[in-house]
């Protein structure tokens, strides 16, 4: 090999290869940080949910107890779905996450409204039931 070719390899090609390796390493580290952050977000949601459910006290009303435990469960589902939207790549899982957010937030609003009515002493036995639910006795 000629001196020019050696020099060309040393000055241009080898540094390009080193740059490519360094770039790949940086991308791998960024992917690991993203994965680590996603896992941390998921675990934070679970920890918050368990703490809230663990501090709930029985009310003496089975329906109210159900709602008081379901609210943190739904909040965690929403937070986990948001983490999926931030970090996930699979189109099906991202769509599912968006559906979870929409559905769970709607159910959270319904439960909070119901709890507010219970606390205000407003019980509406003739309210329409959501489809798919058994009718009240």
pLDDT at residue 71, as a whole number: 97
pLDDT at residue 21, as a whole number: 61
Rounded-to-integer distance, Cα 116 and Cα 100, Å: 24
Q: Which is more confidently placed, 35 or 1? A: 35
pLDDT above 80 for 131 = no
**Which tokens belong to 81?**
């779905």
**Which tokens belong to 80?**
């986990």
pLDDT, one tens digit per residue, over 41-64 is 999 999 999 999 999 999 999 999
What is the mean predicted confidence (pLDDT) over 65-80? Answer: 97
pTM value? 0.65
Give the phi and the psi of residue 90 in degrees, each rounded to 5: -70, 125
H/E element, 84: helix 62-87
* Band of residue 119 on the pLDDT scale cut at 50, 70, 90: confident
Nearest to 53 by CA among 79, 84, 76, 78: 76
**Average pLDDT, rounded, for the chain:** 81
**CATH no. for 3-119:** 1.20.1260
Beta carbons within 8 Å of 114's beta carbon, 6+ residues apart:
67
What is the mean predicted confidence (pLDDT) over 92-119? Answer: 97
Beta carbons within 8 Å of 135's beta carbon, 6+ residues apart:
129
């Amino acid at each position: 090999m000629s001196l020019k070719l050696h020099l060309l390899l040393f000055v241009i090609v080898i540094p390009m290869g080193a740059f490519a390796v360094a770039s790949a390493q940086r991308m791998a580290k960024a992917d690991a940080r993203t994965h680590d952050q996603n896992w941390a977000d998921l675990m934070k949601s679970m920890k918050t949910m368990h703490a809230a459910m663990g501090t709930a006290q029985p009310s003496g009303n089975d329906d109210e107890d159900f709602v008081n435990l379901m609210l943190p469960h739904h909040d965690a589902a929403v937070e986990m779905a948001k983490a999926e939207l931030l970090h996930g790549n699979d189109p099906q899982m991202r769509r599912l996450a968006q559906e979870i957010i929409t559905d769970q937030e709607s159910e959270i609003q319904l439960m909070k409204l119901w709890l507010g009515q219970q606390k205000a002493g407003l019980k509406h036995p003739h309210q329409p039931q959501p489809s798919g639910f058994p009718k009240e006795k």
